[in-house]
Amino acid sequence: MGARLHVLLVAALAVASLSPARADVTIGIAGPMAGSFADVGRDIRAGVEIAVAAANARGGIKGETIRTVAVDDKCEAETGAAVANQLIGKGVRAVIGHACTAAALPAARVYGQNGVLFLSPAATNPRLTDENIGPGVFRLAIRSDREGQAIAAYLGDRFKGKRVAFVHDGSVYGQGLVEEAGKLFAQAGGAVAMTEAFTPGEKSQNNLIGKIQDAAVSAVVMGALQADAAVIAGEVKARGLNVALIGNEALALAEFKALAGDAAEGTVFFLPFVDKSRPEAVDLLLSLEERQLMPTNTLFTAHAATEAAIAALANGGDLAAEAAFLRQSGAATVIGKVSFDGKGDWREAAYKPQVWRGDAFVPLP
């Protein structure tokens, strides 16, 4: 009996040694985890981790457990490339993140060169998909050039026949946004009273506010990040100017409201429309309530991007197959089915205006 047991044990061990080892599937999380954009990084990480936990509860990817590894790209180009290489070294199969285009572009090149699927839930610069970095580069965020179109349409509807100022911080994003909006507004017959650059990071924009006052405008479109927009809003209010302030999606960050205070009231900005009312989102909303997290757009798109990546990995085999799945079939997510065009842009993306009312912003009627 003992000899027979020994033979069976040896045979079992031999079979086990010939069987392929089951390995985890690693998904990278990248974003700004500290500093001014830490809220964005936190939301990306939470969205990914909640989606991964739900997927593992269902059996992972073909029985393999999904694990995550997070890095801080600091919203910087050099750091973005460095942490992308770190993730490659850790054997990631997909990466979700990189909110800032400065970090997303060099990181995307690293992922493209290494055959790793990459989905950004927040990078909006058209270059991310226009430059054809690789077949596995996708964004579950709306292109920023569509934001200019949305602002121009809003101005045409609300400020037809009125003078509008366009100001920007000189950045690629800020300048590009207001110039696109101003061009389209002018083409539709709108009156562009001024287009002016200002120096970002200043504690006062007194000179700029004086030019706005002299131009006698009804509205100011700001291509500015949250801190500079808060300075402009505060000084417009201090001078008692009766002008509408219209900004970009950076004004959705809590820092803008904290810095601007009462001057934020009535400020309009544009966010990608993310449908959080679908039945598929119930479990996510409950999880966020338990974690005391706000259901932000970035958190939802990060969760959806993770679901899309997991579906692609399950239906793929290599990067070409994974990319083809996302372009042709699309994936079911908490925000509905998402699919991507030939460039890798989210087909269903759209901008909607929001307005600050009290301590929160709400959709503009």
Tens of pLDDT, residues 229-271? 999 999 999 999 999 999 998 999 999 999 999 999 999 999 8
Place of tokens 């291509």: 223
Stretches where the chain sits below pLDDT 70 are 1-22
pLDDT at 1: 46
pLDDT at 218: 98
| Residues 361, 198, 262: CA angle, nearest 5 degrees | 30
CATH superfamily of 25-143+276-350: Response regulator (3.40.50.2300)
Which residues is 222 bridged to in the sheet?
Answer: 167
pLDDT at 142: 87
Topology adopted by domain 145-272: Rossmann fold (3.40.50)
pLDDT at 19: 38
> Matching CATH topology for 25-143+276-350 and 145-272?
yes
pLDDT tens-digit map of 64-119: 999 999 999 999 999 999 999 999 999 999 999 999 989 999 999 999 999 999 99
Using a 10 angstrom Cβ sphere, with 0-12 exposed, 13-18 middle and 19 or more buried, the burial of residue 47 is buried
Map out the domains of the chain as residue ranges: 25-143+276-350, 145-272
The helix (H) or strand (E) run that includes residue 298 is helix 297-315
pLDDT at 342: 95
The helix (H) or strand (E) run that includes residue 102 is helix 101-113
